[in-house]
Structure 1
Amino acid sequence: MKIAVPNKGRLHEPTLELLDRAGLAVESGADRQLYANTVDPDVTVLFARAADIPEYVADGAADVGITGYDQHRESRVEGVTELLDLGFGSCRLVLAAPEDGRITAPEDVEGLTVATEFPNVTEDYFAEQGIDVEVVEVTGATELTPHVEMADAIVDITSTGTTLRVNRLEVVDEVLDSSVRLFARDDVAGDEKVRQVETALNSVLAANGKRYVMLNAPESKLDAVEDVLPGLDGPTVMDVEGEDAVAVHAVVEERDVFETVSKLKDVGASGILVTEIERLVE
């Protein structure tokens, strides 16, 4: 099975790190090649431009792909199924126009020119609203086009809005919310290996922000401990051989660990151990 991943840019390293955490580490230094092996002999990584990955998957060059939802929408490819939101690379495509200008709503762009690196997404957005515009495709510095009279407004990616403000542009409307997703070709989406990859990646996401707590407590204090540690489906409780005590294990939210440990001590727990969780299959 081939997985297409971004070959460079802001999505490259986070994608390789996610694969590593999921148990599909890519061979060291292999990201300079077109193909690379992983620790699983049945899984190969294909490095490609993020924008090309949906096409690679649809055409069969790869079975699954990891890229932004914005790239998938821009490609307009068919026969590709989204399997999983991987939770990183978040950004927005927005309609923006010069500050203090005449464009304050999408309908104000009627009959005007919009510059963008995402012409298909932009055309779809305005078509859905019944607004007629001229879309001009650019390959960079989109935010400059209104100031050099190339366009009246732009559709561009923003994360914090800083670049727009620096260029005296303000958001008029949100066009698309995007993050990095796992996609598969329709005819292989249900295959066992694809499902294994999906489960492995999802287990990493499920473990994010959680910690594993282990402790010992007198059996008489078990109810109080359980009140502090509800866990995912209630804590796991095991007898401690030869002692009037139990061992309790539970998964807790990382943000709750500090307070939880204090409460556990107050109800008589001892030997409290908190560890990170690499993967969690729910």
Structure 2
Amino acid sequence: MIRIAIPNKGRLHEPTISIFNDAGLHISGGAESRKLFAKTTDPEISILFARAADIPEYVQDGAADVGVTGLDLITERGADVETLLDLGFGKANLVLAVPEDSEFQGPQDLEGKKVATEFPVITGQYFEKLGVNVEVIKVTGACEMTPHVGIADAIVDISSSGTTLMINRLKAIDRAFSSTVYLIANKESLKTKEKILDIKTALESVLNAKRRRYLMMNVPESSLQAVKEVLPGMSGPTVMKVESSKSSEDSILAVHAVVDADLIFTIVNKLKKVGARDILVVPIERIMP
């Protein structure tokens, strides 16, 4: 049996449920964050719902074989786990911020000052790398208030849009750490439970598919070479003859290719200019490596 720890609530909960569902590991009652355990469509895989901050330790200690949580939490806990895959969502930055009216312009200006944070390990590593000596003060909440009540001169805190900083009359002067959500595994479990790599492959196939689109089009045979030059497919386009073509002079070919989603707008317009028609753009559910 493989146990996967995933966030029980918060901004990481729903995206985690979604990617597992897309990978074919549907979670029973996934939206019910009060549950502690859940089953999946695979009888050998179960789910443990936990606080995102606790998941690195659960995986390290073997309470879970696999976990999904933020890289910031993994790093802050110093968890001895195997990082398997960057899942690409839950993006957040830990920023160094100071009061708006402060004269501090960069981290070097904070030599000998006090910095409040909920992430003392990451903050200490950040300033140590810069060679700046500060006093790191650990807080458990309301970090944004500490400069205004004389507890600290600056903070290191999570910022996604910057709105919270602005509301609290703070300004970011540097980025201390960037984080996304990762799939992690217990090192001993990884050695003995092969299905963990199957879980990684399934999630990776979903990520690969989200970055690609499947193109289908009809192309006159005389335009085929020009179309091939436009298409940057994964391994070249698939070309098939359309049997309904009336004669060899106007023979029509069906051309299929997988392309990067970010290139669709440009590629489709180029394809039309070189003779492709009846172009279909189709989302892909999974791409297995």
CA contact (8 A) 1:30 1:36 kept: no
Name the SS of the counterpart of 2:53 in structure 1: helix
Shift of 1:228: 2.8
Name the counterpart of 2:15: 14
Q: What residue identity is the alignment partner of 1:273?
A: L
Shift of 1:123: 2.3
Distance 2:54 2:274 in 1: 57
Deviates more, 1:86-95 or 1:111-120: 111-120
Aligned 1:51-130 pairs, distance under 5 A: 51-78=53-80, 80-130=81-131
Distance 1:220 1:188 in 2: 56
Shift of 1:207: 1.6
TM-score by length of 2: 0.88
1:228 matched to 2:230 = yes
Q: State the Cα deviation string for residues 73-128 of structure 1 (Å, max 9, x = none).
A: 111122x1111111111111122111232433323333322211112222222333
TM-score by length of 1: 0.90
Q: State the Cα deviation string for residues 38-88 of structure 1 (Å, max 9, x = none).
A: 11222111111010000000000111111111000111122x111111111
Q: State the Cα deviation string for residues 167-214 of structure 1 (Å, max 9, x = none).
A: 222223221111111111222335421111111111111122422111
The equivalent position to 1:247 in structure 2, one of 254, 257, 260, is: 254
Distance 1:204 1:258 in 2: 22
Shift of 1:258: 4.3
Cα 1:55–1:221 change in 2 (3 A) is same
Aligned 1:130-141 pairs, distance under 5 A: 130-141=131-142
Deviates more, 1:241-250 or 1:45-54: 241-250
Which consecutive residues of structure 1, in runs of 5 or more, have no partner in the other structure?
Answer: none
Number of residue pairs aligned between Structure 1 and Structure 2: 281
Name the SS of the counterpart of 1:274 in structure 2: strand
Name the counterpart of 1:205: 207
Name the SS of the counterpart of 2:219 in structure 1: strand
Q: What residue identity is the alignment partner of 1:96?
A: A
Deviates more, 1:116-125 or 1:66-75: 116-125
Distance 2:267 2:135 in 1: 58
Name the SS of the counterpart of 1:122 in structure 2: helix
Deviates more, 1:222-231 or 1:114-123: 222-231
Shift of 1:253: 3.1
Name the counterpart of 1:156: 157
Q: What residue identity is the alignment partner of 1:126?
A: F
Deviates more, 1:100-109 or 1:58-67: 100-109
Q: What residue identity is the alignment partner of 1:281?
A: M
Name the counterpart of 2:248: none
1:27 matched to 2:28 = yes
Q: What residue identity is the alignment partner of 1:275?
A: V
Percent identical residues: 55
CA contact (8 A) 1:229 1:252 kept: yes
Name the counterpart of 1:47: 49
Which consecutive residues of structure 2, in runs of 5 or more, have no partner in the other structure?
Answer: 246-250
Cα 1:258–1:134 change in 2 (3 A) is closer
Name the SS of the counterpart of 2:236 in structure 1: coil
Shift of 1:242: 6.8
Shift of 1:12: 0.7
Shift of 1:268: 4.0
Distance 1:25 1:37 in 2: 8
Distance 1:213 1:181 in 2: 30
Name the SS of the counterpart of 2:54 in structure 1: helix
**What is the CA RMSD across the aligned residues, in angstroms?**
2.2
